[in-house]
Structure 1
C-alpha cells in the first residue's frame, strides 16, 4: 500500500490573511487553529480525498528555503512500520529543530525536500475517488 497526502504546510507571515484568500479560492473553511497556525480544508474536514492546508506563522519566511512541505499519513500500517518503509525507500531523518516529543517524524526525500510522516492512519482512497 502507500501513504496518503493529507496536508500541505505553508509558512507565511499572516496566516489569517492567507486563510481568507485560500478559503475563497478553494471554497474551504477554517477547520482548526493552534498556536497561530490555521488549518483550512473542505467542509467535510481532514481525511477526505482533498488535502487540508496548514498556514504556519513564520516572521520572515526564507526565500531560498522552500516554504511548502508535504504531510503524509500511513494507510495500511502504523506510523512506526511506515517510517521503516519510507527509510528503506531512501527517506532520511531531517532536523528542523524538533524536540523529539512531536507525534510526527520529519524526513527528507532523496533530494533533501522535507516532509512529515504523521501518526494518524487514514483509510486508502477508493479507486473511483482517486484522481
Structure 2
C-alpha cells in the first residue's frame, strides 16, 4: 500500500502566472491562481502542475551537471508520428520554448527544450497502442 499519492509537480519560477500560461498552452488546462505567488494547473489526463514564485531563480544549465544541475525534467507526449512531433515543436516554440537539444531527435525519439523560466522539458514521440 502506498504511503502517499502524488499531488503536484511544483516548479519554482520568477513569474508563476506567465509560466502557468506557457504550460496551459503546451499541455492544456486553465491556470487557477491562488495568489500572486502560487498558480495551479490541472492538466487534462495528467498530473497537476503548480508554479511557485522564486525571485532570483537561477535555471539549470542543461546538460551540465557541474553547475546549477538539472534536478528533474518533464516529458510530454509530442505525438506518434514525426509530423505530429514537428507540429508540437512549432507550437512549443510559438509559446516561448527554447530548443536545448534537437540533434539526432529522429534516432532518440525526443527533443529537449527549456520553458520560459529555463526548466528543461522534452517532447517525446510516443507510439500509441
* TM-score interval, smaller chain: 0.3 to 0.5
TM-score, structure 2 normalization = 0.41
TM-score, structure 1 normalization = 0.40
Structure number with higher relative contact order (C-alpha < 8 Å, ≥ 6 residues apart):
1
